[in-house]
């Protein structure tokens, strides 16, 4: 489908951001988008994506949408403390709740100033990434100072409540200072009538010896909604990141993530979870780059698929020649409940150092009849037994979140 619709919109927006620092970057990103167009299956990173679902819709950027936002749907904000609400991609101070401490961490800079991508990043070649840079209206900055422990999670609640074919391109840019500890939750929730494209970018930089837990949820309630998220982290020496991604619902639900070990002694745990049904499609693209040695990363992605849904996992761990003594593992496990469900999995390693420990693998399994029988022999109905087994399958990921309140919240979502 022609891209002229996007060109028209971009030309209209141009005058409004010509004075912002990222002006040139926006122009270049949009030119790249126009040159390349939507990704195709010929691109390895998009091989398993059913892209015609995206191409068939002409999206309007949020500011061109003439619909008025409806009354906010029941979004289930479960975190009253430090809840930053973004309505249709724009920060809404009135709906947000913030401790005085958290307010001091927020820095607004309008019109997309952002930290540059790491040199190895492939995201600058991504059409969706470039689309975000071009059309982003507001970037939200969090700057956690050195030596701070934030007791309550900082929550970014993105709610989308328009009915039309809108596209949203929010950005969050987070810096966590030396020796600081903080938990973040980023949740994207749509209403049931959305036909939109949610295309956010999150960047997270961890300075020396900082510790971060990050839970990212894309819960798309509408059957026609698409989500193409991006997450990039950069870890300095001795920092630790526990990242959990949960993708639920939607017509197309994808997360492209890149994790960089830039210093020695850093620790990374990446966990992904999806639960798809109907004709939903979930894609996970996960890249881990060990640029320095003596660090560790463990990836586990689990997906439960029912009906005619499909999922793909495309994982890569890269170990640079100088990155000795790295310990890295990667595993993708899938549980299929229906013969018509479709799984594609591609765990990969690119190892260029000789003194490292690295493992990767993938499994696709069906429901175990013995497990079902065991539960039924205790008086539990077959349908309930299957639910228990599904829950057992995904609970391994939820347990990795650590925080009991967040675990409880996630369990409620995937019931």
Partner 1 sequence: MLQVKNLHVSVEGVEILKGINLEVKPGEIHAIMGPNGSGKSTLSKVIAGHPSYEVTSGEVTFDVNFEQKNLLDMEADERAKEGVFLAFQYPINIPGITNYDFLKTSFNSVCEYQGAPKLEDEEFKKLLNEKVKLVEMDPRFLTRPVNEGFSGGEKKRNEILQMAVLNPRLALLDETDSGLDIDALKIVSSGINKLHTKNNSVIMVTHYQRLLDYVVPDFVHVLSDGKIVKSGGKELALQLEKEGYDWVTT
Q: Which residues bind partner 1 (CB under 8 A)?
A: 369-371, 373-382, 384-385, 388-389, 391-396
Q: With respect to partner 1, which residue has the nearer C-beta, 305 or 397?
A: 397
Instruction: Count CB neighbours of 283 within 10 A.
Output: 25
For residue 404, the minimal CB distance to partner 1 (Å) is: 13
How far is residue 414's CA from residue 88's CA, in Å, rounded to a whole number? 24
End-to-end CA distance of the chain: 38
For residue 193, the minimal CB distance to partner 1 (Å) is: 34
Q: With respect to partner 1, which residue has the nearer C-beta, 72 or 375?
A: 375
β-pairing verdict for 138-144 and 106-110: antiparallel
Task: Judge contact between 129 and 25, C-beta under 8 A.
Answer: no
For residue 381, the minimal CB distance to partner 1 (Å) is: 5
Q: With respect to partner 1, which residue has the nearer C-beta, 192 or 366?
A: 366
For residue 369, the minimal CB distance to partner 1 (Å) is: 7
For residue 395, the minimal CB distance to partner 1 (Å) is: 3
Task: Judge contact between 198 and 92, C-beta under 8 A.
Answer: no
Q: With respect to partner 1, which residue has the nearer C-beta, 5 or 363?
A: 363
Q: With respect to partner 1, which residue has the nearer C-beta, 143 or 395?
A: 395
**What are the CA-CA distances from residue 387 to residues 152, 283, 300, 398, 406 (Å)?**
32, 23, 21, 16, 21
For residue 104, the minimal CB distance to partner 1 (Å) is: 40
| Residue 410: φ, ψ to 5° | -65, -40
Residues whose CB falls within 8 Å of the CB of residue 75, separated by 6 or more in sequence, listed in order: 157, 159, 189
* Residue of 238, 236, 150, 251 lying closest to 198 (CA atoms): 251
Task: Estimate the crossing angle of helix 382-399 against helix 404-413, to 10 degrees.
Answer: 140
Task: Judge contact between 37 and 155, C-beta under 8 A.
Answer: no
For residue 328, the minimal CB distance to partner 1 (Å) is: 24
Assigned token pair, 245? 């991604």
Q: In a 10 Å sphere around its CB, with 0-12 CB exposed, 13-18 middle and 19+ buried, how is residue 99 labelled?
A: middle
β-pairing verdict for 197-198 and 267-276: unpaired
Exposed e or buried b per residue across 132-169, where buried means at least 16 C-beta atoms within 10 angstroms of its C-beta = bbbbbbbbbbbebeeebebebbbbbbbbbbbbeebbbb
Q: With respect to partner 1, which residue has the nearer C-beta, 277 or 391?
A: 391
For residue 273, the minimal CB distance to partner 1 (Å) is: 12
Alpha-helical (H) ranges within 63-171 are 100-105, 127-135
For residue 407, the minimal CB distance to partner 1 (Å) is: 11
């Amino acid at each position: 489908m022609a891209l002229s619709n996007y060109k028209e919109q971009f030309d209209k927006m141009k005058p409004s951001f010509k004075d912002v620092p990222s002006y040139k970057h926006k122009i270049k990103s949009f030119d790249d988008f126009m040159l390349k167009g939507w990704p195709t299956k010929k691109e390895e990173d998009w091989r398993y994506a059913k892209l015609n679902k995206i191409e068939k819709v002409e999206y309007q950027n949020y500011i061109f949408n003439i619909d008025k936002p409806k009354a906010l749907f029941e979004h289930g904000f479960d975190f009253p403390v430090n809840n930053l609400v973004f309505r249709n991609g724009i920060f809404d101070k009135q709906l947000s709740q913030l401790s005085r401490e958290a307010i001091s961490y927020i820095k607004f800079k309008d019109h997309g100033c952002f930290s540059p991508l790491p040199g190895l990043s492939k995201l600058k070649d991504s059409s969706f990434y470039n689309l975000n840079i071009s059309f982003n209206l507001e970037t939200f900055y969090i700057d956690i100072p050195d030596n701070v422990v934030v007791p309550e999670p900082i929550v970014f609640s993105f709610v989308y409540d328009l009915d039309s074919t809108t596209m949203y391109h929010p950005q969050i840019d987070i810096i966590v200072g030396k020796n600081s500890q903080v938990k973040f939750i980023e949740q994207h929730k749509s209403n049931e009538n959305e036909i939109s494209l949610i295309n956010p970018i999150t960047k997270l930089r961890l300075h020396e010896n900082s510790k971060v837990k990050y839970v990212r949820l894309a819960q798309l309630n509408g059957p026609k909604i698409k989500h193409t998220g991006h997450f990039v982290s950069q870890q300095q020496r001795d920092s630790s990141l526990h990242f959990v991604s949960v993708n639920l619902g939607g017509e197309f639900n994808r997360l492209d993530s890149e994790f960089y070990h830039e210093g020695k002694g850093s620790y990374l745990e990446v966990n992904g979870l999806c639960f798809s049904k109907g004709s939903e499609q979930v894609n996970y693209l996960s890249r881990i780059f060990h640029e320095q040695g003596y660090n560790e990363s463990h990836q586990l992605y689990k997906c439960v698929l029912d009906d005619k849904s499909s999922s793909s996992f495309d994982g890569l761990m890269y170990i640079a020649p100088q990155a000795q003594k790295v310990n890295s593992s990667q595993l993708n496990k899938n549980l299929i409940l229906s013969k018509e469900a479709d799984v594609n999995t591609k765990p990969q390693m690119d190892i260029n150092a000789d003194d490292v420990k690295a493992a990767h693998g993938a499994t696709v399994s069906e429901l175990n009849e013995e497990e079902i029988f065991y539960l039924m022999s205790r008086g539990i109905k077959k349908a309930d037994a299957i639910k228990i087994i599904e829950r057992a399958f995904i609970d391994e990921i939820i347990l990795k979140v650590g925080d009991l309140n967040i675990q409880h919240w996630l369990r409620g979502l995937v019931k």
